[in-house]
Amino acid sequence: MLATITTYYFFLTNFYTFITIKSSDYFHHSHFNSNDIHLHEVNTKSKKLFSIGKNHSDSLDFSFTSERQCIRIWTKDFKNFKGTLTNFTTKISDSNQEGNYKENKPKRHKEYKNTVKIDTEIAKQIYVMFNNAGIFSMRDGKDIKGWRIGTDGVIYSIKYSTLNKESTKQYWTPEVYVGKIKEADKIVHLLEQLESTLNMKDSFDKFFNTLPNGCYNVGSILVWCKEENKKE
């Protein structure tokens, strides 16, 4: 049976989208065991949920982060690569759930994440994807002519660290600039490659299915509210 999905739009300081999902209808992952994923409840006082590694014995350490997932790849010799994929989200305060959004701006209070290892050969493939696309040498989005930052959409962050250099770059919703800015074309193509290689959407869906009932920010202006089907 298909999920019952209800979408609401509210104009606050920005508009938010609410999707009510009955998880037993929407997530059909009978092969998936939630025990395979270690779920963390993260202290929200920590402002650095994901950051580039500071182990300077590594020859390369980089991360590629959206508003709900983070890929991290590192190597000491450019022969053997390691990597992780982290899914994360923030639960909206129980005192400010779906029915109260009209009156109040959503309050966030708990962050959840899970991290899974990436196979070494796949980690190397991902490095090759980034390197061949020239991502590491690409200018920051704010320095690229015509690349403006909107009020919603998705921001992708790339952190890159070597023995001699560290950099952080951000790119707002590259899909908007496909066919207009060549750097955006490269990032969108990279996103397609990463999805094909890591099944990132499926990974996030599985993670989301392990979360307690409630409403969660899942990127940009999008909020998902989920509840289990009640037993009759």
Tens of pLDDT, residue by residue over 133-189, are 999 999 999 999 999 988 778 899 999 998 888 899 999 999 999 999 999 999 999
Tens of pLDDT, residue by residue over 55-64, are 445 589 999 9
Of residues 230 and 3, the one with the higher pLDDT is 230
Whole-angstrom distance, CA of residue 121 vs CA of residue 118: 8
Tens of pLDDT, residue by residue over 11-52, are 333 333 333 433 333 333 323 333 333 344 343 333 344 444
- Is the pTM higher than 0.85? no
CA neighbor of 64 nearest in space, from 186, 147, 224: 186
> Which range is least confidently modeled, 14-28, 88-102, 196-210, 211-225?
14-28
For the chain, how are helix, strand and coil distributed in percent, rounded to 5? 25, 35, 40
Q: What is the mean pLDDT of the chain?
A: 75
Exposure letters 15-53 (e unless 16+ CB within 10 A, then b): ebebbbbbbeebbeeeeeeeeebeeeeeeeeeeeebebe
E strands, the chain, in order: 7-11, 15-22, 40-42, 60-65, 69-75, 81-92, 108-118, 155-161, 166-172, 214-217, 222-227
User: With contact defined as beta carbons under 8 Å apart, do 71 and 85 qualify?
Assistant: yes
